[in-house]
Amino acid sequence: MSNNHKTDKTFTLINDETGDRIKLPVLEGSEGPAVIDVRKLYSQTGHFTFDPSFTSTGSCKSRITFIDGEKGILMHRGYQISDLAEKSTFTEVCHLLLYGDLPTRAEKEKFEHDITYHTMVNEQINFFYRGFRRDAHPMSIMCGVVGALSAFYHDSLDINDPRQREISAHRLIAKVATLAAMTYKYSIGQPFMYPRNDLSFAENFLYMCFAVPAEPYKVNPILARAMDKIFILHADHEQNASTSTVRLAGSSQANPFACVAAGIACLWGPSHGGANQAVLEMLDQIETVDRIPEFIERAKDKDDPFRLMGFGHRVYKNFDPRANVLKTACDEVLEDLGIDDPRLELAMELERIALEDTYFIERKLFPNVDFYSGIILKAMGFPTSMFTVLFAVARTVGWISQWKEMIEEPSLRIGRPRQLYVGPKSRPYVDLDDR
């Protein structure tokens, strides 16, 4: 990144014990909070900063995604998520994230061709699936098979070659979707369906998931549009836990397939991408509207591990713009499909009650992207266990775009945090007979 974003502003840090003062420079970006540059803090003060869950820490500069948690803003390369979800397609958003702008018609056709012609996977990968139990959690399979991609594509592992970086990015966007569909098929004992080059990204994914060799399958355009919109809404989200995992893995110069596999592992957690599965399980646990107060109280009880899944966000403190789009899409898909899912009414009543409760209001806990996504995915025919896999299919483009941006940083260095050591001081060794 060419511009160093330096300003003439500084913060002065004073050591109250010694009176020593150091000036810390302030860097300013194009949107959002400025940052205090503490890169020289240790060499100047012998002290580290301390911020275990990074609530006040910027880990990098990025041009890809901006989030304003107070205003509920999410934009990719300057385009608002609501505009992209309404007016664009997932492959256009992939181009935007990867290359920095929406594609021209010619660029779109070429990009979609490149992605389409990477959707097949090496036939050997089919045999990896045979090693898993059919009832393995789909995310456990995805962790394995996505990492295994690096065993096949030796011609695009040189991270210092821009063309190989681009091919790996295309391969990951295309093949993670195919592997996800294969994972679903394997879990239900049906044969894998090969990708079709005459279908769009979303249509092809639905085809690979729901078609069977025994008869023709026509993709429902309503489902295809909903799938495409869900992929757009989950594509990237600044430096969230899984993206930070991909960046940290990439900082060691590990290959992009291994880095994305690390991201998938992190996304699986119920505090992160695993929340969409947890929301549906929670709604099924609550079962009826009259039991909502009981679970609201449990969510507020510090001694009860139960949390209102799909609520709260580290950054969004008024609303998650993606949840708003998903809520509308939820109504449309269920109406178009003629599905009356009582869980939607339960979810809306749960949201209404929670948002009137001072506990949630004081802590600024609102529905996040995961709160409504599961209801749509269920209506589309996906089992709950596949929800986080679908999140990974979409987020692969965000992970690989952020990885590419980091690798292209001229000052790439391995990420290596320090710590506050609170363990035992040095002590003499104790032989086994004396313990």
Under rule CB under 6 A, how many of the chain's residues touch ligand SDX?
20
Q: Which segment (190-198, 256-264, 365-373, 402-410) binds ligand SDX by CB under 6 A?
A: 365-373
313 has catalytic annotation: yes
Among positions 10, 44, 271, 285, the unique one binding ligand SDX when judged by CB under 6 A? 271
Closest CA to 377 of 300, 310, 295, 277: 277
Task: Pick the piece of the chain touching ligand SDX (CB under 6 A) from 206-214, 306-314, 333-341, 374-382.
Answer: 306-314
| Interface region with ligand SDX, contact rule CB under 6 A, candidates 10-18, 141-149, 289-297, 362-370 | 362-370
- How far apart CA 247 and CA 170 sit, in angstroms, is 18
Q: Which residues of 405-435 are buried (b: 16+ CB within 10 A; e: fewer)?
A: bbbeeeeeeeeeeeeeeeeeeeeeeeeeeee
**Least Å distance between CB 121 and ligand SDX?**
26
Contact indicator for 142, 264 with CB cutoff of 8 Å:
yes
309 scored as a contact of ligand SDX (CB under 6 A): yes
CA-CA distance, 129 to 108, in Å (whole number)?
33
- Annotated catalytic residue, options 370, 431, 433, 434: 370
Is 314 one of the binding residues for ligand SDX (CB under 6 A)?
yes
Q: Which of 369, 388, 383, 362 is nearest to 270 (CA)?
A: 388
If binding is defined by CB under 6 A, does position 76 make contact with ligand SDX? no
Q: How far is CA 356 from CA 296, 335, 361, 384, in A?
A: 11, 28, 7, 29
CA of 173: how far to CAs of 25, 177, 209, 336, in Å? 39, 7, 17, 29
* Residue in the shown chain whose Cβ atom is closest to ligand SDX: 312
Hey, what are 165's tokens? 């970086």
Is residue 190 left, alpha or beta, with left meaning phi > 0 and alpha meaning psi from -120 to 50?
beta
| Rounded Cα gap, residues 367 and 309, in angstroms | 9
Q: Binding segment for ligand SDX among 130-138, 204-212, 269-277, 286-294 (CB under 6 A)?
A: 269-277
Of the residues 234, 313, 340, 357, only one is catalytic, namely 313
Under DSSP, the state recorded for 22 is E
- Closer CB to ligand SDX, 5 or 314, in the complex: 314
Among 144, 263, 312, 374, which residue interacts with ligand SDX (rule: CB under 6 A)? 312
Q: Is residue 369 a contact residue for ligand SDX (CB under 6 A)? A: yes
Q: Is 298 in the site for ligand SDX (CB under 6 A)?
A: no
Identity of the residue, 103 or 274, whose beta carbon is nearer to ligand SDX in the bound complex: 274
| Using rule CB under 6 A, residue 368 touches ligand SDX | yes
**370 catalytically annotated:** yes
Contacts of 321 (CB under 8 A, 6+ apart): 72, 73, 74, 80, 81, 82
Q: Is 275 in the site for ligand SDX (CB under 6 A)?
A: yes
Query: What residue ranges bind ligand SDX (CB under 6 A)?
Result: 237, 240, 271-273, 275, 299, 307-314, 363, 365, 368-370
Residues noted as catalytic: 313, 370
